[in-house]
Amino acid sequence: MPLDLGSSASPRHARERRIPVAILGATGAVGQTFVRLLEGHPWFEVTELAASERSAGKPYAEAARWIEGTMPARLRDVEVVACEPSAVRAPIVFSALDSSVAGDVEPAFARDGRLVFSNAKNHRMAPDVPLLIPEVNWPHVALLERQQRERGWRGALVTNANCSVTVAVMALAPLHAAFGVERVFAATMQAVSGAGYPGVPSLDILGNAIPYISDEEPKIEQEMAKLLGRYADGVVREPALRATAHANRVAVEHGHTVCLSLGLATRATPAQVVDALRAWRGPEGVPGYLEACPSAPARPVLVTDAPDRPQPRRDVMAGEGMSVVVGLDVKLVVMGHNTIRGAAGGSILNAELCLLGAPPVPAGLMADVLGEHAMERVA
């Protein structure tokens, strides 16, 4: 059966005046993906581009070596600023910073009253920081109330999951909800774009596979459990999940593929697994809000019965890069776009849901952070 790659969800609602946003790490590969995805966004407008001291003060066209498509003309002459709260005015900040600097910079913006959406690993496992995939665990956003109270921040920090974890857990969540997932073995085949730019040297990766990605396997194993946990009373209670991962870099430009072998608490037939995956839209109460989000795919999980799918070349842009594609025969093969769904696009979707005030976003958070912009209704 041909695979329907789907499209973005529902009508894309516009605002009379878009919210100014800044991108930290705007010159790198993920930073550039943020720029591409936010150009023409109906709710957000990129007004500031921040990067390292080496790039600060230069026009964006000079500071960034553009690697995909065409740089938006209106941003070419925008002066890059330093990654400091005093240099950035936007109330919403998307961070594509490397983990070597994100640990200190992102909290500084949150303390200063900004809403920070981070792609870095540094704060994902902190007990008061939401690690979010909206279709999986949106209720975890309630941690922001605890975060603001305990840290005394005027703003807040929300994180994305690791790109391979995002792909895998979007397929695991429906099965965990229906049958309970007790054991996972995950073998990843990760695209070179996941290594940033300039990435892996050509003589290392062409005609080759590299069975090692630094620090990747612990992230996969730890983040899966937090994402599949249940939020209650200010705490995410993780399931008793035994996860093992093996990470591999392969000669693919975009699209991380994850081969999963699962142990379920309740036995399920292949037909029941397919039905659970195809029916999944997200936690109770969330799909209605997702339908209003410009970046949300109509179907977050697409299932194919083709024996040779999913394939990055054919399927990576499913749902405009925001869906994951699952092929299965008892075991699962999952594939998704690592820099869209697994990075910039995932952060943007988190921001859209926060802007809508999708419960349980803490009451008053968006008004405090956005000021006059929060008063504008999403039409």
The reply to whether 256 belongs to the active site is yes
Dist. CA 178–CA 275, nearest whole Å:
10
Dist. CA 326–CA 316, nearest whole Å:
11
Longest Cα pair distance anywhere in the chain, in angstroms? Answer: 60
Buried b (16+ CB within 10 A) or exposed e, 13-34: eebeebbbbbbbbbbbbbbbbb
Of residues 83, 163, 293, 354, which has the active-site annotation?
Answer: 163
- Phi, then psi, of 105 in degrees rounded to 5: -70, -45
The pair of structure tokens assigned to 203 is 């003589």
Dist. CA 131–CA 138, nearest whole Å:
9
Distance, C-alpha 317 to centroid of its chain? 15
β-pair type (230-232, 256-264):
unpaired
The single residue listed with the structure tokens 């303390």 is 111
Residue 371's Cβ-count burial label (10 Å; 0-12, 13-18, 19+) is exposed
The reply to whether 163 belongs to the active site is yes
Of residues 41, 140, 176, 256, which has the active-site annotation?
Answer: 256
The answer to whether 321 and 315 are in contact (CB under 8 A) is no
| Active-site annotation, residues | 163, 256
